[in-house]
């Protein structure tokens, strides 16, 4: 294996991987101090770093076309102490749909830091890895709450609060949670939906604070329903959460239609998931999620089942 001398640690070819995430309840309000419940996904992203002889930093062999991605790579390299003269190629692959609210940016951020740490022979502590990944995610999303990166790093199902300090607690479901994810609308930009909601909430705190608080109450109710194995109550909390997210202005007609359709086809609850403004919905299945997924799947609007196991 060749390594390359130069500023900062030398590099050797290496890879890093991370899964995605699904927010069950609490997105957006979590940015404003309320709790959220999220689950890690096994689908994810793998990043491979290959050192170069020159100082270029390329993505799949070409200069990064996306300025945010170039910035993310620069932040990650900086966190690993790699001087700007240290060139390398970044290859990105994976099976996570991009920019639909399933954590592709968080997954990429964690995988990138893991890959660069492995390539430079650094052994990062859990905290240093988390801090670096949160900083990298900021390149994509501006001022994220950290729920996505934290979920990806911890795995499983958990309760998140932005803090400071950030807080994650594993949640143990009394019964398996059978979900269907429907990618219902075009790609979205989480940074934009978070930023414009923040502007509205700052301009009119009296209008938006009660909505965020109500979402927080639904998240608390949902946790107790999950721990009691009460699927009906969890489903109702999810559907009410969608109504509040819609009131916050982060849903779209395609997401609303998909939610209505899921409820009409037997889901116990349904809501948008992630940043909204496009992307995916999540529906809670009363029984076999494969059957509900088959009823909701159609060309151009894929639906797939997902199970959060009981423990
Ligand atoms: C995005 O997956 C979740 C949001 O709450 C943004 C964030 O918490 O950073 C919309």
Q: pLDDT digits over 31-79, tens only?
A: 999 999 999 999 999 999 999 999 999 998 888 888 999 999 999 999 9
Sheet (strand 303-308) strand order: 269-273, 280-284, 177-183, 303-308
How remote is the CA of residue 142 from the centroid of ligand 1, in Å?
11
All structural domains of the chain with their residue ranges? 14-170, 177-308
In the predicted model, what is the mean pLDDT of residues 113-132?
Answer: 96
pLDDT recorded at residue 7:
65
pTM value is 0.94
Residue of 20, 18, 22, 19 lying closest to 179 (CA atoms): 22
> Does CATH place domain 14-170 in 3.30.230.10?
yes
In the predicted model, what is the mean pLDDT of residues 100-117?
Answer: 95
Strand positions, DSSP E, 55-153:
57-59, 62-63, 88-94
| pLDDT(5) > 90 | no
**How many whole angstroms separate alpha carbon 302 and alpha carbon 308?**
20
Whether 144 is in the pocket of ligand 1, judged by its Cβ within 6 Å, is: yes
114 in Cβ contact with 18 (< 8 Å)? yes
Whether 107 is in the pocket of ligand 1, judged by its Cβ within 6 Å, is: no
Whether 279 is in the pocket of ligand 1, judged by its Cβ within 6 Å, is: no
Whether 277 is in the pocket of ligand 1, judged by its Cβ within 6 Å, is: no
Superfamily of domain 177-308: GHMP kinase, C-terminal domain (3.30.70.890)
How remote is the CA of residue 110 from the centroid of ligand 1, in Å?
16
How remote is the CA of residue 133 from the centroid of ligand 1, in Å?
15
Whether 177 is in the pocket of ligand 1, judged by its Cβ within 6 Å, is: no
How remote is the CA of residue 282 from the centroid of ligand 1, in Å?
15
Evaluate whether 14-170 and 177-308 have a shared fold.
Answer: no
Q: Which atom of ligand 1 is nearest to the CA of 273?
A: 2
Q: Which atom of ligand 1 is nearest to the CA of 162?
A: 8
Q: Which atom of ligand 1 is nearest to the CA of 250?
A: 10
How remote is the CA of residue 9 from the centroid of ligand 1, in Å?
34
Q: pLDDT digits over 255-268, tens only?
A: 999 999 999 999 99
Q: Using a CB cutoff of 8 Å and minimum separation of 24, what contacts does 256-263 make?
A: 257/184, 258/182, 258/184, 258/185, 258/296, 258/301, 259/283, 261/296, 262/180, 262/182, 262/292, 262/296, 263/239
């Amino acid at each position: 294996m060749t390594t390359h001398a130069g500023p900062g640690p030398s590099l050797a070819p290496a890879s890093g991987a991370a899964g995605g995430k699904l927010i069950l309840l609490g997105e957006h309000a979590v940015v404003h101090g309320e709790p959220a419940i999220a689950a890690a996904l096994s689908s994810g992203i793998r990043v491979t770093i290959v050192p170069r002889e020159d100082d270029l930093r390329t993505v799949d062999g070409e200069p990064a076309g996306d300025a945010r991605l170039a910035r993310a790579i620069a932040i990650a390299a900086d966190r690993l102490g790699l001087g700007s003269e240290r060139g390398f190629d970044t290859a990105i692959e994976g099976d996570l749909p991009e920019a639909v609210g399933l954590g592709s940016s968080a997954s990429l951020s964690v995988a990138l830091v893991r890959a660069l740490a492995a390539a430079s022979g650094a052994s990062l502590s859990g905290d240093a890895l988390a801090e670096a990944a949160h900083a990298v995610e900021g390149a994509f999303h501006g001022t994220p709450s950290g729920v996505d990166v934290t979920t990806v790093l911890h795995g499983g199902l958990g309760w998140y609060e932005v803090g400071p300090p950030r807080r994650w607690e594993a949640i143990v479901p009394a019964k398996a949670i059978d979900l269907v994810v429907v990618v219902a609308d075009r790609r979205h930009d989480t940074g934009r939906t978070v930023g414009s909601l923040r502007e509205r909430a700052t301009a009119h705190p009296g209008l938006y604070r009660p909505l965020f608080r109500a979402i927080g109450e639904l998240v608390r109710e949902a946790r107790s329903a999950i721990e009691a194995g009460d699927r009906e109550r969890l489903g109702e909390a999810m559907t009410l959460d969608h109504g509040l997210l819609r009131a916050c202005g982060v849903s779209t007609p395609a997401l609303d239609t998909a939610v209505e359709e899921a409820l009409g086809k037997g889901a116990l609850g349904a809501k948008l998931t992630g940043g909204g403004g496009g992307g995916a919905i999540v529906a809670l299945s009363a029984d076999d999620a494969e059957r509900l997924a088959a009823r909701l799947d159609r060309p151009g609007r894929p639906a797939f089942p997902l199970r959060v196991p009981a423990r």
